[in-house]
Amino acid sequence: MAKKRILTGIRPTGLPHIGNLEGMFKNCVKLQEEFECFFMIADLHALSSEYADAARIRGNSLEIAIDWIAAGVDPEKHHIFIQSEVPAHSELFAVLAMITPLPWVERCPTYKEMQREIKDKDLNTFGFLGYPILQAADILVYQAELVPIGEDQLPHLELTRQIARRFNNLFGEVFSEPEAKMTKATRLPGVDGRKMSKSFGNAIYMADSQEDTAKKVMSMYTDPKKLRQGDKGNPDGCVCFAYHKIYNEAEVGEIENSCRSGALGCVDCKRSLAKKMNAALLEQRERRAELSGDLKKIESYIRKGREAALAVTRETMQRVHKALFGS
């Protein structure tokens, strides 16, 4: 039996950080054992919010490919590609946009949230409103059965299913409804305790040196009531402790106890975390450095991904044309 097909995407709006690594890339590495995977660099989606600074998008796209591969995705067996290089995404987007009622996109919670939160960019564009329709096109054009996403993306998947149903009702069965493959989210907060994001300046990157990593760890937000060693601490809500849970599983119980009792001070706690993190990320960072030195190879993987994407999407678009126009 053919393997089920997966499609997932990430926007190249900046360097990938360890939040992306733990929350998404590692999951992709697991999924590739079982599924045929299309890993998409969503540069058109990036354009919807970064159009004023579009020149950076290409460089960021390559960085994403590098980190995806450095994390362990196999670009020979699976397909890493760039959305804008596969025209079917835009073609199907145009078709789906014709049949999607405006209220479906206007009520999308992600849309409202971005409009509310992002003040330094003008997101009052037609394309930004259509963001989830483009995402629906991404998914449906691969006939992807499963879509690995975090919880924040569920409204987009639901909308995708609605649009697929509407298309099928109007023009006949072309699309099956994709399912979310929810990732057990490993959520890493930024060093200041807010959501990790390049725009908050609180992210740790795979591209960071060991020294940078240690510096960022030393600046982490911890229990504000614990001022010196000896003070009893509360690990709940402490960023450093959240990271120990991921990078120092073996000692996390001990750390919790000695934090609560006061025996462990924050400086020592952070030092030991920095060491563990740098050790855990070492291999990957070495691979990333090596891959960064061979951009030709990265480009060739992306070309290969594009070929596979073109072949699959061409087939879907033929079916779409047939359903719409009879040939």
* Smallest separation, CB 143 to ligand TRP (Å): 13
* Contact with ligand TRP (CB under 6 A) among 47, 69, 147, 312: 147
User: Is residue 183 within 8 Å of residue 150, measured between CB atoms?
Assistant: yes
Q: Binding to ligand TRP by residue 20, rule CB under 6 A? A: no
Contact segment (CB under 6 A) with ligand TRP among 4-12, 117-125, 251-259, 286-294 equals 4-12
Contact segment (CB under 6 A) with ligand TRP among 27-35, 50-58, 145-153, 185-193 equals 145-153
How many positions of this chain bind ligand TRP (CB under 6 A)?
A: 13
Rounded Cα distance, 62 and 320, in Å: 31
Contact segment (CB under 6 A) with ligand TRP among 6-14, 100-108, 224-232, 272-280 equals 6-14
Exposed e or buried b per residue across 51-83, where buried means at least 16 C-beta atoms within 10 angstroms of its C-beta:
eeeeeebeebbbbbbbbbbbbebebeebbbbbb
CB atoms within 10 A of CB 253: 9
* Smallest separation, CB 260 to ligand TRP (Å): 37
Rounded Cα distance, 196 and 323, in Å: 44
Exposed e or buried b per residue across 262-291, where buried means at least 16 C-beta atoms within 10 angstroms of its C-beta:
eebbbeebbebbbbbbbeebeebbebbeeb
Q: Which residues have a Cβ under 8 Å from the Cβ of 238 and sit 6 or more positions away?
A: 221, 222, 223, 259
CA distances from 217 to 14, 79, 97, 255 (A): 21, 34, 45, 16
DSSP letter at 130 equals T
* Smallest separation, CB 251 to ligand TRP (Å): 33
User: Is residue 272 within 8 Å of residue 297, measured between CB atoms?
Assistant: no
* Contact with ligand TRP (CB under 6 A) among 42, 140, 217, 298: 42
Two structure tokens written together for 275: 């060491």
One character per residue 45-64, x = contact with ligand TRP (rule: CB under 6 A):
x-------------------
User: Is residue 56 within 8 Å of residue 46, measured between CB atoms?
Assistant: no
* Smallest separation, CB 149 to ligand TRP (Å): 5
* Smallest separation, CB 189 to ligand TRP (Å): 18
108 vs 240, beta carbon nearer ligand TRP: 108
* Contact with ligand TRP (CB under 6 A) among 43, 138, 145, 208: 138
* Smallest separation, CB 89 to ligand TRP (Å): 9
* Contact with ligand TRP (CB under 6 A) among 6, 8, 37, 312: 8
* Smallest separation, CB 13 to ligand TRP (Å): 9
178 vs 235, beta carbon nearer ligand TRP: 178
CB atoms within 10 A of CB 152: 11
* Contact with ligand TRP (CB under 6 A) among 49, 61, 100, 135: 135
Where do contacts with ligand TRP occur on this chain (CB under 6 A)? 7-11, 42, 45, 135, 138-139, 147, 149, 153
